[in-house]
Structure 1
């Protein structure tokens, strides 16, 4: 159950990064863009911690190698 929860949280963090980036790109006010940049950095930090947790617990399944 834990790997599935972690995968769902990872997906949500990725979607949050994309949303913050899109908002920063479309924002006309610099102060609001800076606010979204702050949110983006917080999500990057959380995503890095989550990636380290996934690696340490062995929850990341590597894709199969392509052999030709």
Structure 2
């Protein structure tokens, strides 16, 4: 196997849109909002989901990605 097999140049054109404006069904949100929403949804839908890590129960909401989740889901 050569490095060429693994490190092929990325074709950036496939990721670019000629119309960068969001479609009617799309929403624009911050990275923080997307993380919060996805974790909230996972915790709400699946009882077996557990969040682990430093700052998960951040009462000050320093980053805001888990703000209120510990209180709501325990």
TM-score, normalised with respect to structure 2: 0.30
Bigger relative contact order (CA 8 A; separation at least 6): 1
Higher helix share: 1
Structure having the higher Rg: 2
TM-score, normalised with respect to structure 1: 0.32
